[in-house]
Amino acid sequence: MENGEQRIGRRAFLGAAGGMMILKPQLVRGTAANSAVRIGLLGCGGRGREDAEGLVKSGGARLVALADLFDDQLASARKRFDALAAKNSMAGVDASQIFSGPRAFEKIVASQEIDAVVIATPPYFHPEHLAAAVAAGKHVYCEKPVAVDVPGARRVVEIGAKANRRLSLDVGFQIRMAPPFVELVKRIHAGALGEIASAEAHYFCGALDRPDWPGASPVTRRVRNWLHDRVLSGDIILEQNIHVIDICNWVLQGHPIKAVGTGGRKGRTDQGDAWSHFCVLFTYANNVHVGFNSTQYGKGGFDANERFFGPRGNSTSPYTGPLEITGQEPWTWSESGQPQGGKFSVTGSFTGNLDQADPEKHKAFVESITSGNFHNQAASGAESALSAMLGRMAAYNGREVTWEEMMQANESWDAGIDLDKL
């Protein structure tokens, strides 16, 4: 308990499996310690391909299996990774390791040919897919968010406890590995700003265009365009904006204890039901207020940033442009790039201050497996997901909502989709 609010006990969680022994990498993977980690990709969309390719290029892993609901996604991904393998004078993905359809996730995690799986499916399915991977003894790199509702987040923490100290379970908050952000947060925690009094964070981007999929059934179109679907994605505050909320948690070393907000769908023209914008005021411990705003519509430019304010100075941390601290201990990241302007990457491949975010994250994940120093980010991933859910719940209800209220409500989301009938 902190300030009357219940939070996930990461320290207690990490100690839950303290009696487990750490196995040598070669025993965990069944291969020689210096062989490449074998990766399977579950969810062959843009972000999944970026993660898998990054694990190959930065981590030295091998992509050996693919799984997706749709055959065209599989064909496109296979072409890309076969070409990458050919450049490295290696074999492409074997036909026996390509899995399609609603049970593809079960087949890929059951494969004896892979050591780890990248989960990049719609967030609604993450807890189910994560549970299957850990039960099969696979290391996991799971894209954010880990869940779309409170029961899902609770389940992820339970899954993480089962994986603790025997498997690596990473969550795709790659910004926490970006050198400029690492140095900035280190300086803030060392007192460069003094005691933080308030902050501002925003994530502004234009519409994420998707095909019309003529001839597809309404349910198939919904799954294809899950980014526009409130339940499948968790809405924009959870699926996309969570990155800046996660950074706020990182800097402030905890989650918000309450929130009040608003928002809506005005200006959005796609066929989904996700909102176009959110406006939320989060309150963290010690009465620190964080004003948060986001958009995902129209043809405007892209801008994501967090600014923290204290008596000794202020900080600003944009994706591109000057990342710095002003005040009594001024500091600027020397390699900050120029603002991105109107171009936005749907896959999350950015320039500037995030240049090394993905490479460092992917490298660290593979090294955690080969070294046996396993990561477990289930609890922190769930905490950031729940923080975004708190803002979403406050905005949906148009009133103040506390962390305790959200957790006690335990609201469960049902997409009402039977994938076996697609």
pLDDT per residue over 313-370, tens digit each? 999 999 999 999 999 999 999 865 444 444 444 555 556 899 999 999 999 999 999 9
Could you tell me if 63 and 37 are in contact, meaning their C-beta atoms sit under 8 angstroms apart?
no
C-alpha span between 64 and 75 (Å, rounded): 14
Give 286's pLDDT tier (boundaries 50, 70, 90): very high
Taking the CB of residue 160, how many other CB atoms lie within 10 A of it?
A: 29
Helix axes 46-57, 357-371, angle to 10 degrees: 60
96 assigned to some structural domain: yes
The candidate with the shortest Cα–Cα distance to 395, out of 284, 232, 265, is 265
Q: Which residue has the tokens 């430019």?
A: 301
CATH code of the domain covering residue 340: 3.30.360.10
The predicted structure's pLDDT at residue 339: 44
Q: Are residues 142 and 228 in the same domain?
A: no
**Is there a contact between 264 and 308 (Cβ–Cβ < 8 Å)?**
no
- Residue 245 pLDDT > 90: yes
Is 419 within the bounds of a domain? no
Amino acid at residue number 193: L
Q: Each residue of 163-219: pLDDT tens digit?
A: 999 999 999 999 999 999 999 999 999 999 999 999 999 999 999 999 989 899 999
Residues 198 and 329 in one domain: yes
> Per-residue confidence at 422, pLDDT binned at 50, 70, 90?
confident
Percent of the chain with pLDDT over 90: 85
Does one domain contain both 239 and 298? yes
The predicted-structure confidence for 40-79, as pLDDT tens digits, reads as follows: 999 999 999 999 999 999 999 999 999 999 999 999 999 9
**Domain total of the chain:** 2
Closest listed residue to residue 396, CA positions, set 261, 267, 195, 237:
261
Domain extent at residue 281: 176-356+383-409
Instruction: Tell me: do 153 and 185 sit in the same domain.
Output: no
